[in-house]
Amino acid sequence: MAMTLTHLGTGSRGNATLLETEHAKILIDQGFSGAQLEKRLGRLNLHPTDIDYVFISHHHGDHGGGAAVTQKRWNVKIQANHRTAEELGLIPELTHYFDSLDVINVSQDLSVLAVPVPHSGADNVAFVASHNGHRAAVITDLGSWTDELVTHVRGCEHIAIEANYDHNRLMNGPYPYSLKDRISGRGGHLSNEQTGQFLAQVCTPATKSISLTHLSVKNNQPHLAESTVLYHIDEIFSGDISISLQDGPERSHFIGEKVEVESPENESPLNQ
């Protein structure tokens, strides 16, 4: 069985991503209410009690705001670093703590690496999941990147990464200067241009698919995000690129699955 990655929704009103293997089901982030989580998982014929762990990247409400209710309502175990757990008021008995660059073995066929990323006011991490030699990265809420992140993400088969804003739209938009400065700063969010530059460093022939996530409703548009990113990676990436928006779940990506092609006219894209 391949590792399946499905975004339940990404954006300022909530984020959660399902990773599923034969022996494990985990969520990356839980920024939804209990009712919304139950509804979105229900569309995949799943229930919150089916989840083995929820991994929380950082404590901001759109990523971790639903973590505590997930523990209290369904006794789901949470994986988080110490600051995130403290900020969210998580139940110690249902919380497992990791440090940066720890590898968390979830099951016999799934492990998760926590990689620190710069984000103001939070001890944020990106996650790199490994399944039988295949890797997928989920990266969000960072205003820049580190050489360490490049090293661990390079060559991942699937990369889910934020493309939060178009620079011109942000700078010419209605936000006050202080907010524009925070969003575009090192500890803020990635612009479409920055996301393209980062992907140009980490995409290899092994990279089959990319999800652009966490697009700003006011400061971005899907076609701008996709075209800007493709400008930077067009010569090195020939796989599938998709946009993840607020309402989900959306299409699933199958990491590690080989698709046989019978003929050119019936060719099926990898990792749909």
Band (158; pLDDT cuts 50, 70, 90): very high
Q: What is the mean pLDDT of residues 14-41?
A: 98
pLDDT of residue 258: 63
Domains in the chain with CATH codes: 3-247 (3.60.15.10)
Look up the pTM and report it.
0.92
With a cut of 50, say whether residue 243 has pLDDT above it: yes
**Stretch 221-225: mean pLDDT:** 97
Would you say residue 234 has pLDDT above 80?
Answer: yes
What pLDDT sits at residue 120?
A: 85
Q: How far is CA 141 from CA 57, 121, 135, 165, 215, in A?
A: 9, 11, 20, 12, 11
Residue 223 has pLDDT above 50, yes or no: yes
Q: What is the DSSP letter of 10?
A: -
For the cut 80, the answer to whether the pLDDT of residue 259 exceeds it is: no
- Kindly state the percentage of the chain with pLDDT values over 90: 91
Of residues 267 and 45, more confidence is placed in: 45
Q: Quick: pLDDT tens for 164-208.
A: 999 999 999 999 999 999 999 999 999 999 999 999 999 999 999
Residue 9, CA distances (Å) to 70, 113, 141 in order: 17, 22, 15
pLDDT tens profile 96-146: 999 999 999 999 999 999 999 999 888 999 999 999 999 999 999 999 999
> To which residue do tokens 């369904």 refer?
74
Structure tokens at 227: 């075209």
Look over the chain and give the mean of its residue pLDDT values, rounded to a whole number.
Answer: 94
Contacts of 260 (CB under 8 A, 6+ apart): none
Residues 6 and 244: beta-carbon distance below 8 Å: no
User: Which residues are within 8 A (CB) of 45 and not within 5 positions of it... i.e. 6 or more apart?
Assistant: none
Measured between alpha carbons, how far is 61 from 133 in angstroms, rounded to an integer? 33
- Alpha helix locations (H) across the chain? 34-42, 61-64, 67-74, 82-88, 147-153, 167-171, 177-184, 192-202, 222-233
Residue 263 has pLDDT above 70, yes or no: no
Determine the distance from the C-alpha atom of residue 218 to the mean position of all C-alpha atoms in its chain, rounded to a whole number. Answer: 21
Percentage of the chain surpassing pLDDT 70?
94
- CA-based nearest residue to 125, from 104, 106, 155, 95: 104
Is residue 266 scored above 80 in pLDDT? no
